Amino acid sequence: MLITLEGIEGSGKSTQMKRITAHLEKKGKRCVITREPGDTPIGKKIRAILLDPESCGLTSLAELFLYAADRAQHLGERVLPCLAAGDVVVSDRFFDATTAYQGYARGLDLEVIETIHTLVLKGLRPDLTLLLDLPPEVGLKRAISALEAGDRTVDESRFEQEALAFHEKVRKGYLTLADREPERFEVIDATLSADEVTEEILRAIDDRLARING
């Protein structure tokens, strides 16, 4: 089973990731936490380029290909072997992030992005995608507090430095994707408290597990 978490900056994904795996492990599932970009040794190098504010000269197309390269490596080295071993894989971001950020927000051709996804994913689709949705003003405030508290380093802040309008487009992009695939997506109100968000997430996961197991 593949579960993906998506959302704009400051949507609280990291906190929820740990709670999701704790819940699944309590149910006797073997769980693997992973993320994009940067889960593999090669991916870590790609992540450093992508998130460094000094990469401000990166073109949108180069950015798209770096995310695709990270994903190809992530799939080959981590996701596919773990799924084959019967693990539940929980990924902090996956291909929907490319459609939302590089497609809807940067304005790259959605058909080109879809073609790259076909090539990289080879038909793999998450069983469940949890979209933590909240207004960008709230998300960015949280993300900037995390930077100030040192929970996230400045050399990973390239996207936090994007204008509010960019994050609005990302949010709308994600919501469009969720509208298009209501079976796969579960939209969660991330303005709720972390505990309330966890409750919603775990309910969605349990529903999905019950459906998969018949």
List of residues contacting ligand TMP (CB under 6 A): 9, 35-37, 51, 67, 93, 97-98, 101-102, 159
- 51 or 201: whose CB is closer to ligand TMP? 51
| Least distance to ligand TMP, CB of residue 74, Å | 9
- For residue 166, the minimal CB distance to ligand TMP (Å) is 10
SS3 199: helix
Instruction: Report the residue number, 162 or 200, with the smaller CB distance to ligand TMP.
Output: 162
Closest approach of Cβ 97 to ligand TMP, in Å? 3
Helix (H) or strand (E) holding 145, with range, is helix 136-148
Return the structure tokens found at 206. Answer: 């349990």
What DSSP assignment string belongs to 118-139?
A: HHHHTT---SEEEEEE--HHHH
In whole angstroms, what is the distance from residue 52 CA to residue 125 CA? 29
* Shortest distance in whole angstroms from residue 182 CB to ligand TMP: 22
To ligand TMP, the closest distance from the beta carbon of 37 in angstroms equals: 5
Which residues of the chain form beta strands (DSSP E)?
2-7, 31-35, 88-92, 128-133, 185-189
Given the complex with ligand TMP, which of 31 and 136 has the nearer CB atom?
136
Cβ closest to ligand TMP, residue 26 vs residue 180: 180
Of 46 and 205, which has the nearer Cβ to ligand TMP?
Answer: 46
For 205, the token pair is 């996961």
Residues 6+ apart with CB under 8 A from 174: 6, 7, 8, 96, 100, 104, 131, 133
